[in-house]
Every structure is written in structure tokens, then in C-alpha cells.
Amino acid sequence: MKSSNLMVIALACLLAVPAVYAQQASAPAGSTGQCKDGSYSTQATKKGACKGHKGVKEWYAAAGASAAAAAPAAAAPAPAAAPAAPTANNAMKAHTMPAPAANAAPGGGPGMVWVNSSSKVYHCPSDKWYGKTKHGEYMSEADAKAKGNHAEHGKACTP
């Protein structure tokens, strides 16, 4: 009875291994893990790697490090351009913002700002996010400030 249970567990493990490797193979180059929201991280450590992204779903760094240590250096061809390792300066750049929508929401105009209702940030007409975030509305800059919103990067709109 025990040996049949062990066989079932061993078979399940063997069947799960290709799925893990397939997921790692589809990850962008240099990724160390995948977050629960589907984004990827290049953080060197698991701690805080998917902060703001619902946590870590899969961590590849330990598997990648042991595989790299097991393979001799002479057997693997040298990559043409190795990606830069994350540093303190670019570690926060691992998660990129999505591109703004192609077309701005209808409305707006002179003296109006676009207020992103999710982030409480308002965008000026010259900003790439003006009228293009998922949730928001147009209003005057004074109204936006009165409702507790703030300018993007603290830069108020120029008249």
C-alpha cells in the first residue's frame, strides 16, 4: 500500500516538472519570478519582489541559480549581451507601467485636468496620461485640488 502511494506521488512530481519548466521558459529574459497578477520580477531576492502585485506566484531564481551552477561554463555559449543585474537604482524599474490608451476620453479642454480616480493624481493636457487612464474624469485644477487630488510628480499645470 505504501509503495503504491509513493509511486503515485513520484509520478505526479514527474508530470509537474515539465509544466514548471515551460512556465519559466515563457518568462522574459532575466526574470527571477512571476507575480500573482501575471507580471514578472527581476529582483535578486524573493522578499518584496512582487510588492503591489498580489505577491509571488512562482520563484525562478533558486532553480536558475542551481542550474547555472551545475552546468560547466565551457559547455554553455557566451550570450551576446547579458542583461544588467538589478541594482538599487534600477530595481524599482522592474515593473513597468502599461502604455496609455490610444485615444483620450471625450471631453476636456482648456483649463481642465484629467483626474485618475484610482490614484488620486491629476494629469495636465500636455501629459501622456491626459484622458487615458481607465477610471477618471475631467475637472478644473482647482476642483481637483479641493477634492484631495495631487498633480503628477507634484508638477502643477501651467496656465
50-59 pLDDT, tens digit per residue, is 888 888 888 8
76 assigned to some structural domain: no
Three-state SS at 36 = coil
130 assigned to some structural domain: yes
What pLDDT, on the 0 to 100 scale, is given for residue 37?
Answer: 87
86 assigned to some structural domain: no
135 assigned to some structural domain: yes
The whole-angstrom separation of Cα 14 and Cα 134 is 43
132-143 pLDDT, tens digit per residue, is 888 889 998 889
Place of cell 506521488: 9
Is 60 found in the same domain as 19? yes
Domain that holds residue 11: 2-71
Is 159 found in the same domain as 124? yes
Q: Which residues contact 142 (CB under 8 A, 6 or more apart)?
A: none
pLDDT > 60? residue 74: no
Nearest in space to 127 (alpha carbons), one of 145, 148, 147, 141: 141
pLDDT > 60? residue 27: yes
Beta bridge partners of 136: 116
Strand 121-123 and strand 150-151: the pairing is: parallel
Is 109 found in the same domain as 64? no
Q: How many domains does the chain have?
A: 2
Is 111 found in the same domain as 56? no
What's the average model confidence in pLDDT over 47-70?
A: 69
pLDDT > 60? residue 23: no
